[in-house]
Amino acid sequence: MDVVNAIPGAGTGRSGALARPRAMLRRLLDAARVRMEALPYDYPPAVIVAADIALLVVTVAAVIQRHSYFPTVLPILAMLTAFLPLPLYGIFKVKPHPVLLKACGMVSCALFLVQPVTADFAPFVLVIIAGEVAAIATRGITIGFSLLAIAELVAFDLAGHLLWGESGVRLEGLPMYTLGILLGTFCGVMLQYQRRFLYQERENQSIRAMQAADEERRRIAREVHDVIAHSLSITLLHLTAARRALQTDDDVTEAVDALVDAERLGRQAMADIRRTVGMLDASPAVLAPEPGAGDIDELVGDFRRAGLTVDYARSGDLAAVEGTVGHALYRIGQESLANVAKHAPGNAATVRLEVTGRAATLLVRNPLPVGPPPRVDAGMGLRGMRKRTELLGGRISAGAADDGWTVRASFPLKSTGCATITAILPGLLEPKPKEDM
């Protein structure tokens, strides 16, 4: 028979007795952590606890040094006075104001120094309080407390209560204690400056985050605009071709082909819009690759199949065009051809893509339609093209020239020095033929 399991609580008596104090201690620690985080000084709890531990060590050492004065309770009273702000804040919610810290520290040190001992630890209470006050108070309060603390030490030294060394010689410990107060003040000032820099950095990060969010929204707006403008322009061209095929030629096959192309481009546009809008979602998503310079051929083919006459030619190696530049060239060409279909229907367009060792240039030209000339930078498309070009360090010009509308975008390419060295390196490494002896 299992005696332990048969008797209720027999096996858990000791653990049950220890569980209650542990739970109580945990609640006290959690409450203390919440109170420390609620302080208006925005210091980590570890810094506050470290200062309190240092003050505890100093006061305990000062109390032990005065063992010869027992059974008097003055050292214990001095120690409790140093920690008076803690129960005031924990019980009565009185925030540890710098004036309260100053008063408690100076009174505690004075109570200790009433009973002098050699090599006294009591003045170090003022050192720690000076650091705490300097970390949370203004400059005037900090300087004022430092002067009052030094004046208190001078007064007790003149009274013969500030002893140093085994022989109790006066005026030896005062310079060291004074330097300690100044050191504590400087440490507190450094902590306060660090806190100010932290606030400034948080503000700067908030501003940068807002700017990045605004820029991302503008970028997504440009992407959505380009996708919608391109898809609607080509879809309308296909629908026009289908209508004409049915009305004029009664050609059902040609109309169906046009509608199939319109449906395909519409689905592709919906996928692009979902991908672009999906960038706003915080959850991870599988993103399709962005179109690049190699997709310009297919872009021109879409417009041609939609009925737009496009004279297209390209030269150079597209492999030299990096992804961001290729994507910008694709979007600029897409917007330019969509503008041709929208503003100059029935006119032919000329597209030239030239890639050299230093730059990639896209040229789109079309005749101007009949009527008043269009305004430059009047639409979102032209502003988006300029923004794309400026971000990548390129140059773009768009406007009427030679009885036509011309868009010219040029992007610098990375140096091909590495490729050149790679090309000539095998020749340099080839062994030279030996000369005839």
Distance CA 308, CA 237 (A): 8
Q: Residue 233 falls within a domain, yes or no?
A: no
Residue 356 has pLDDT above 50, yes or no: yes
pLDDT of residue 94: 86
Q: Provide φ and ψ at 310, rounded to 5°.
A: -130, 125
Give pLDDT, residue 172.
66
* Least confident range of 191-195, 377-381, 414-418: 414-418
Quick: pLDDT tens for 323-335: 889 988 988 988 8
> Residue 301 is part of a domain; what is its CATH number?
3.30.565.10
Q: Residue 357 gets which letter from DSSP?
A: S
User: pLDDT band for position 166 (50/70/90)?
Assistant: low
Among 124-128, 182-186, 222-226, which is the least confidently predicted range? 222-226
Q: Please determine, for residue 424, whether its predicted confidence score (pLDDT) is greater than 60.
A: no
Whether residues 66 and 169 share a domain: the answer is yes
Q: Is residue 408 part of a domain?
A: yes
Q: Which secondary structure element, helix H or strand E, spans residue 404, and what is its range?
A: strand 404-412
Q: Is residue 140 within 8 Å of 186, Cβ to Cβ? A: no
Residue 235 DSSP SS3:
helix
Query: Domain check: are 191 and 320 in the same one?
Result: no
CA dihedral 33, 38, 39, 42 (to 10 degrees): 90
Asked if residue 411 lies in contact with residue 325, where contact means CB atoms within 8 angstroms, the answer is yes
pLDDT tens-digit readout, 33-52: 777 777 777 788 888 889 99
Residue 28 has pLDDT above 80, yes or no: no
Percent of the chain surpassing pLDDT 90: 33
- Euclidean distance between CA atoms 22 and 19, whole angstroms: 5
Predicted confidence at residue 216, as pLDDT, reads 78
270 domain residue, yes or no: no
Strands of 395-401's sheet, edge to edge?
Answer: 310-315, 349-355, 359-367, 404-412, 395-401
Give the E-state strand segments of 56-194 in sequence order: none
* pLDDT value of residue 428: 39
Mean pLDDT, to the nearest integer, of 306-314? 87
pLDDT in the model for residue 279: 60
Domain presence at residue 404: yes
Better pLDDT: 167 or 402: 402
pLDDT tens profile 65-106: 999 999 999 999 999 999 999 888 878 888 889 999 999 999
The answer to whether 121 and 54 have CB atoms below 8 angstroms apart is: no
Confirm if 316 and 294 have CB atoms less than 8 A apart.
Answer: no
Is the predicted pLDDT of residue 417 greater than 70, yes or no? no
pLDDT above 90 (res 206): no
Does 327 fall in a domain?
yes
Same domain, 203 and 321: no
Helices assigned H by DSSP within 114-251: 124-136, 139-158, 173-244
Count of CB atoms situated within 10 Å of the CB of 167:
8
Supply the mean pLDDT for the chain. Answer: 80
Cβ atoms 104, 82 nearer than 8 A: yes
* Domain tally, the chain: 2
Residue-wise pLDDT for 172-191, tens only, equals 678 999 999 999 999 999 99
Alpha-carbon span 411 to 37, nearest angstrom: 53
| Residue listed under structure tokens 């204690």 | 177
Residue finishing a domain among 207, 242, 263: 207
pLDDT of residue 392: 87
Same domain, 203 and 297: no
At which of 207, 226, 243 does a domain end?
Answer: 207
Residue 71 lies in a domain: yes
Q: Chain-centre distance of CA 302, in angstroms?
A: 41
Range among 83-92, 166-175, 210-219, 222-231 rated most confident: 83-92
Alpha helices in 245-295 (DSSP H): 252-277
More confident site: 221 or 201: 201
What is the share, in percent, of the chain residues with pLDDT greater than 70?
A: 81
Selected residue with higher pLDDT from 273 and 305? 305
Highest average pLDDT, of 270-274, 314-318, 387-391, comes from: 314-318
- 127 within a domain of the structure (yes/no): yes
pLDDT at 115 over 70: yes
SS3 364: strand
The domain boundary residue, chosen from 184, 207, 230: 207
3-state percent breakdown (helix, strand, coil) of the chain, nearest 5: 65, 10, 25
Q: HSE, CB side, 13 Å, CA atoms: give it for residue 132.
A: 28
CB 393 within 8 A of CB 412: yes
**Residue 304, pLDDT score:** 85
User: For residue 225, is it within any domain?
Assistant: no
Q: Is the confidence at residue 267, as pLDDT, over 80?
A: no
Q: Is the pLDDT of residue 111 over 50?
A: yes
Q: Report residue 281's pLDDT band, with 50, 70 and 90 as the boundaries.
A: low
List the domain range (segments joined by +) for residue 389: 293-424
423: confidence class by pLDDT, cuts 50, 70, 90: very low
Shared domain for 313 and 180, answered yes or no, is: no
